[in-house]
Structure 1
Amino acid sequence: MPTEILMPALSPTMEEGTLAKWLVKEGDTVSSGDILAEIETDKATMEFEAVDEGVIGKIMVPAGSEGVKVNTPIAVLLDDGESADDIAAPSQAKAPEAAPAADAATKAAPEGSSAVAAPPSPVKDGGRVFASPLARRIAAEKGLDLAQIAGSGPHGRIVKADVVDAKPGAATAPQAAAAPDTKAAPAKAATAMPSGPSADMVARMYEGRDYDEVALDGMRKTVASRLTEAKQTIPHFYLRREVQLDALMKFRADLNKQLEPRGVKLSVNDFIIKASAMALQAVPDCNAVWAGDRILRLKPSDVAVAVAIEGGLFTPVLKDAHLKSLSALSAEMKDLATRARSKKLAPHEYVGGSMAISNLGMFGIENFDAVINPPHGSILAVGAGVKKPVVGADGELKVATVMSMTLSVDHRVIDGALGAEFLREVVAYLESPVTMLA
């Protein structure tokens, strides 16, 4: 039976994408792992691999098509002995039943979550179990009952990986059983959020005035959607502190002089990343994210850092930042930022983390409030270091380099006193930078 190849979700936040380029054509024979197409997600251009073997019978979505929804059929794969004449019937019979289930599974996962929904059990039509030819051959050789195996392919189709490790006589536990019981508590109708004036209404306001209309690309649509969600659903509150940087600037200059032969130059941002990572270890209850009906407290300090790119931003994640040296963090951050600006990051490099850092100090911004990137529990907004008069511990007036920091906090995850404790730890590390090396 012909198999529909569906538009994949290549990142956790992807709802639609652009089919940039087909790397196969109708009539080509493909195997599992072959690259079929290049797809532009909301964040990057990625390669899409085949999960089955067969012949490309029909390409349903041409190259260059924009706004292709996840789980939309984009091509049809033919098994041995099948032809293009067999395509129409299964496409019409199968899609209405399977596509809604796939869409529901996609929408059930919280946006931005790195968790992957469990695949459905094999789709059956009139008692038939859908499986690839290779999976059927392996099952026959091993004496497996396909009806007892849960498929991980599109619409629950059984593929090679599902049968390779299966043993005769042992039924694979239905993976769908691991999913939450959605029937137990009927979902309440969501209250519609105000969306503001429509595009036509706004256009009428500026009728007769010259303007350029800029179409939204996938990244800008995602940024708009996620930030709207964040401000509408996350109860933000803000904690502000100032930190004196003079000791850090002197320490940084000394370190950079010693690291110069190795070609290493540490930035103030590298110290902020390290201080934040260590503060998460000192105040572990702040190393947490919101997960809908629960809080997840992370053990490692995975710190995301906002990187501005043309048309949007990335938040690459420095994993285990508390365990890495300043020079290692600096090198990793430079690499991630460079690849972010060319949109070459893989999803696992910008998904996760419990908090983010947004630094606008290099643009001369002294202080600002950042919007939390869900599901993070907080985001630290960092301003520029400015020389100011301050009163020293001995009561004397002196000039110091002072930097403003604002911690935006999700009150569902972190309470005020806890957030204040975390920010106090960050300031302590930055004002005594040598302690970050202990």
Structure 2
Amino acid sequence: PAATVPATTVPAALPAATVPATTVPAALPAANDSAPAPSSPAGAAPAQTPAAGTANGTRRGRIFSSPLARRMAREAGLPYEQITGTGPNGRIIRRDVEAAITSRDRAASVLAAAPVTPPATTAAPVTGPATASVTGSVAGIPAFTEIPHSRIRRAVASRLTESKQTTPHFYLRGTARVDRLLRLREELNDGASVRVSVNDLVIKAVAGAHLLVPAMNVIWTPDAVRSFSSVDVSVAIATERGLVTPVLRSVERMTVSSVATAVRDFAERARTGRLRQDELEGGTISVTNLGMYGTEDFAAIINPPQAAILAVGAARQEPVVEDGELQVGTVMRVTLSVDHRPVDGVVAAEWMRAFLSLVENPVRILA
């Protein structure tokens, strides 16, 4: 019989979700016979095998089975009367034979490893911290581990599912030469107490592009397109609990070093679960960067109710053509996901052009 793991009670204040009661199924569901049964001659009776008596638990009467099941059972050396059919009218089909073979092989391996079987014990309730996992292994199912959903992961899953289902996404891709951007970063970090990352410069470039194309600094509401005077940018931060996107307010007024300081503070408090709810609300665009993991190009899902999200890839050296000559340059690919309800394609294209221009002429970012 399948073992049932009791639910674990977790205080409501903890960020992690409670461990649900989990019932391990007794057998792995399988598809019906993949090969169709060959046609029988007209008037032929269904395949059957006489059964033995019921003294040892076997069945009495006619046993129906598919040709594939009969062949599999014969090759495995399994008697029909010991197999329980789950097909129509108790017909033995492929999955029944597979389950019987799996059970037999598992029992044989257990007996070989431990000839003396200890007495059965009752499983103890799962206790401990909210992040405790539940494991299981039964006949036909490989060992698995269940990690309870945290509240953050549940919220992110719900919001992103809603976004992908209800927000009409469209995508723009761009490539920028970032040789100057990298040199500027080196100069800014030379002897500085606060180190600036490429992502910090990208965030400032996003804010600059919003100022140049204010039609992108909007969100969709049921009654109107809401336009903002200041540029609030969300920064995607990955934590063990899940993804969070705290918001930098009025980025257009911040220096690059103050952006770097704020982002690092967000990252530290996000990993320890100390972000405030108001820091996770607002903004019209998010920046998500997987370049530090070597990802060159990807597209992200918009964080509702924002109108866009910029996915930033890794900066890599590649052959480039400049003034008709082939050179080696450092390039970075970005993908802008846009909500087509408040933002038209032309507006997004103008924004992308402004953003790439700022990245390739980074001194303008500092202005």
Place the TM-score, normalised by the shorter chain, in its bin: 0.5 to 0.7
Q: Structure 2 residue aligned with 1:228, among 161, 167, 188?
A: 161
What is the SS of the residue equivalent to 1:223? helix
Where does residue 176 of structure 1 map in the other structure? none
Distance in 1 between residues matched to 2:223 and 2:286, nearest whole Å: 22
Q: State the one-letter code of the partner of 2:182.
A: M
1:23-62 per-residue CA deviation (whole Å, 9 max, x = no partner) reads xxxxxxxxxxxxxxxx3468xxxxxxxxxxxxxxxxxxxx
Query: Aligned to 1:396, which of 313, 325, 329?
Result: 325
Q: Judging changes above 3 Å, is the alpha-carbon distance between structure 1 residues 224 and 203 closer, same or farther for their aligned structure 2 residues?
A: farther
* Cα displacement (A) at 1:217: 2.2
1:20 is displaced (CA, Å) by 3.3
2:314 paired residue among 384, 401, 414: 384
Structure 2 gaps, min length 5? 1-8, 31-137
**Distance in 2 between residues matched to 1:269 and 1:65, nearest whole Å:** 36
Deviations 1:348-380 (A, max 9, x none): 111110000000000000000100010000000
Offset at residue 292 of structure 1 (A)? 2.5
Distance in 2 of aligned mates of 1:391 and 1:371: 33
Q: 2: CA distance between counterparts of 1:65 and 1:428?
A: 49
Q: Which amino acid aligns with 2:258?
A: A
Which residue matches 1:240?
173
1:423 to 347, 352, 355: 352
Q: Which residue of 2 aligns with 1:314?
A: 244
How far, CA to CA, are the matches of 1:41 and 1:336 in structure 2?
Answer: 18
Higher RCO, 1 vs 2 (CA within 8 Å, ≥6 residues apart): 2
Equivalent of 1:217 in 150, 163, 175: 150
Secondary structure, aligned partner of 1:335: helix
Report deviation, 1:311: 3.2
**RMSD between superposed Cα atoms in Å:** 2.4
Q: Max radius of gyration: which structure?
A: 2
Instruction: Give the direction of change, closer, same or farther, for the CA distance of 1:362–1:288 in structure 2 (3 Å limit).
Output: same
The residue that corresponds to 1:131 in the other structure is none
Matched letter for residue 11 of structure 2: A
Pair 1:435 & 2:359 matched: no
Partner Cα distance (2:167, 2:18) in 1: 34
Structure 1 unaligned residues grouped into runs of 5+: 1-17, 22-38, 43-63, 68-198
SS of 1:210's partner is: strand
Question: Could you list the per-position Cα deviations for residues 374-430 of structure 1 after superposition, in whole angstroms to 9, with x for gaps in the alignment?
Answer: 0000000000001110110x1000011000000000000111110011111111111
TM-score by length of 2: 0.63
Residue number among 171, 189, 192 corresponding to 1:256 in the alignment? 189
Q: Give the one of 273, 279, 282 matched to 1:352.
A: 282
Residue of structure 1 equivalent to 2:42? none
CA distance in structure 1 between the partners assigned to 2:206 and 2:316 by the alignment = 21
Q: Distance in 2 between matches of 1:241 and 1:429?
A: 13
Deviation of residue 66 (structure 1)?
Answer: 8.6
- The total of aligned residue pairs comes to 247
In 1, distance between residues paired with 2:157 and 2:18?
22
Partners of 1:264 and 1:338 in 2: how far apart? 15
